[in-house]
């Protein structure tokens, strides 16, 4: 079953956690963090986000097939049934592509982009859509999903993330690297091994970007996450989440509630229980 795109809720009572998406939101704009993590204001997924969700789900299924069947045609054939399943579970998504008759083709193009970047018949990932959760020594709980984890016979780890979004690569790149360092740190803490490679696969651009983290960098990054979480907790107590206007506001769904755009935020509901760190499927399919 595909999780709910907008409001996935994985557990009834979890400790507040930091996810890469929500940490990124706070860094970008504390008020955006509040709207998403605390007020939980609804956001209508964009066609690009829903398409990304379908493409991610297709790639996950592809690796569930025997190696010899992981072919472009099989992947394309999986698009329509995957979309049908998502629609069955979330009929409200039917309107997303109402004016975009060619969207199935565009999902096919993203998958074609994937096959230009690698041959899945030559890979046997350890996991797809892997939930990682670990607590830092400071007590911060990290939680996130890794699109794919490859582990070599030598034990070397590669973290793979598929990028299917419509935003220009340069806009999303810093955010993507932040997300990948988050996963690298979580895996290092969980398994005692620093991942050898972080690989971002931009399916629309048909380009991939590989990055090798090191211990010193991840240690610094850990301090950054601690500082972000402390700042979130401080703001959470008072409700003082300030807007930070930037060109990323163009992608924000909450301008109507944002003082930077003449709006008024809803009354602060207080720090949420049980969880301010969950990611939706859309977060993972950007
Ligand atoms: S519109 Fe911009 S400043 Fe306002 S909440 Fe969204 S991201 Fe923040």
Rounded to the nearest angstrom, the distance between the alpha carbon of 256 and the centre of ligand 1 is 9
Hunting for tokens 């990124």 — which residue is that?
Answer: 24
Does the structure show a pLDDT above 70 at 249? yes
Q: Of the residues 254, 264, 265, 266, which should be mutated to test ligand 1's pocket, given the most ligand atoms within 8 Å of the CB?
A: 254
Of all protein residues, the one whose alpha carbon is nearest to atom 4 of ligand 1 is: 258
d(CA 115, CA 79): 15
For the CA of 263, the closest atom of ligand 1 is: 4
For the CA of 244, the closest atom of ligand 1 is: 3
Range in 26-35, 125-134, 149-158, 267-276 the model is least confident about: 267-276
Q: Is 176 exposed, middle or buried (0-12, 13-18, 19+ CB in 10 A)?
A: buried
For the CA of 255, the closest atom of ligand 1 is: 1
**Predicted local distance difference test score (pLDDT) of residue 44:** 83
Of all protein residues, the one whose alpha carbon is nearest to atom 2 of ligand 1 is: 249
For the CA of 246, the closest atom of ligand 1 is: 2
pTM: 0.86
141: left (phi over 0), alpha (psi -120 to 50) or beta: beta
Rounded to the nearest angstrom, the distance between the alpha carbon of 5 and the centre of ligand 1 is 22
Beta strands (DSSP E) in the chain are: 127-135, 141-151, 157-163, 197-202, 207-211
Q: Of the residues 260, 263, 265, which should be mutated to test ligand 1's pocket, given the most ligand atoms within 8 Å of the CB?
A: 260
From residue 97, alpha-carbon distances to 152, 167, 253 in Å are 40, 18, 18
Q: pLDDT digits over 164-177, tens only?
A: 976 556 667 888 88
Most confident of 84-93, 96-105, 218-227: 218-227
Does the structure show a pLDDT above 50 at 32? yes
**Six-digit token pair at 100?**
């975009």
d(CA 211, CA 86): 33
d(CA 128, CA 105): 24
d(CA 140, CA 144): 13
**Contact between residue 45 and residue 97 where contact means Cβ atoms under 8 Å apart:** no
Hunting for tokens 């939706």 — which residue is that?
Answer: 280
Binning pLDDT at 50, 70 and 90, where does residue 98 land? low
Of all protein residues, the one whose alpha carbon is nearest to atom 7 of ligand 1 is: 249
Which residues in 197-230 are b (16+ Cβ under 10 Å) and which e? bbbbbbbbeeebbeeebeeeebeebbeebbebbe
Does the structure show a pLDDT above 60 at 16? yes
Rounded to the nearest angstrom, the distance between the alpha carbon of 257 and the centre of ligand 1 is 9
d(CA 71, CA 83): 19
Q: Of the residues 240, 241, 245, which should be mutated to test ligand 1's pocket, given the most ligand atoms within 8 Å of the CB?
A: 245
d(CA 118, CA 29): 36
Q: pLDDT digits over 192-243, tens only?
A: 999 999 999 999 989 899 999 999 999 999 999 999 999 999 999 999 999 9
Does the structure show a pLDDT above 80 at 40? yes
Q: Tell me which residue of 111, 107, 124 sits closest to 75, measured CA to CA.
A: 111
**Predicted local distance difference test score (pLDDT) of residue 167:** 58
**Predicted local distance difference test score (pLDDT) of residue 3:** 40
Beta strands (DSSP E) in 121-271 are: 127-135, 141-151, 157-163, 197-202, 207-211
d(CA 17, CA 140): 7
Rounded to the nearest angstrom, the distance between the alpha carbon of 200 and the centre of ligand 1 is 27
| Pocket lined around ligand 1, Cβ cut-off 6 Å | 29, 31-32, 243-245, 248-249, 252, 254-255, 258, 260-261
**Contact between residue 104 and residue 47 where contact means Cβ atoms under 8 Å apart:** no
């Amino acid at each position: 079953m595909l999780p709910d795109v907008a409001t996935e809720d994985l557990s009834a009572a979890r400790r507040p956690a930091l996810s890469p998406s929500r940490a990124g939101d706070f860094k970008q704009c504390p008020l955006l963090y509040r709207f998403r993590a605390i007020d939980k204001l609804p956001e209508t997924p964009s066609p690009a986000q829903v398409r990304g969700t379908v493409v991610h789900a297709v790639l996950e299924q592809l690796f569930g097939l025997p190696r010899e069947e992981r072919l472009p045609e099989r992947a394309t054939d999986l698009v329509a049934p995957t979309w049908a399943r998502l629609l069955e579970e979330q009929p409200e998504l039917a309107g997303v592509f109402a004016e975009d008759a060619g969207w199935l083709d565009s999902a096919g193009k993203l998958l074609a982009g994937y096959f230009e970047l690698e041959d899945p018949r030559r890979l046997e990932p350890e996991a797809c859509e892997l939930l990682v959760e670990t607590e830092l020594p400071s007590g911060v709980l990290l939680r996130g999903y890794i699109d794919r984890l490859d582990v070599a016979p030598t034990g070397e780890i590669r973290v793979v993330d598929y990028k299917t979004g419509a935003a220009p690569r340069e806009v999303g790149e810093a955010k993507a690297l932040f997300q990948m360092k988050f996963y690298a740190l979580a895996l290092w803490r969980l398994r005692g091994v620093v991942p050898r490679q972080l690989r971002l696969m931009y399916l629309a651009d048909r380009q991939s970007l590989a990055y090798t983290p090191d211990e010193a960098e991840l240690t610094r990054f850990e301090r950054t996450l601690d500082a972000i979480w402390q700042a979130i907790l401080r703001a959470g107590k008072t409700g003082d989440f300030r807007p930070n206007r930037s060109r990323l506001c163009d992608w924000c769904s909450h301008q109507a509630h944002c003082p930077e755009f003449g709006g008024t935020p809803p009354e602060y509901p207080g720090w949420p229980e049980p969880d301010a760190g969950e990611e939706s499927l859309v977060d993972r399919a950007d």
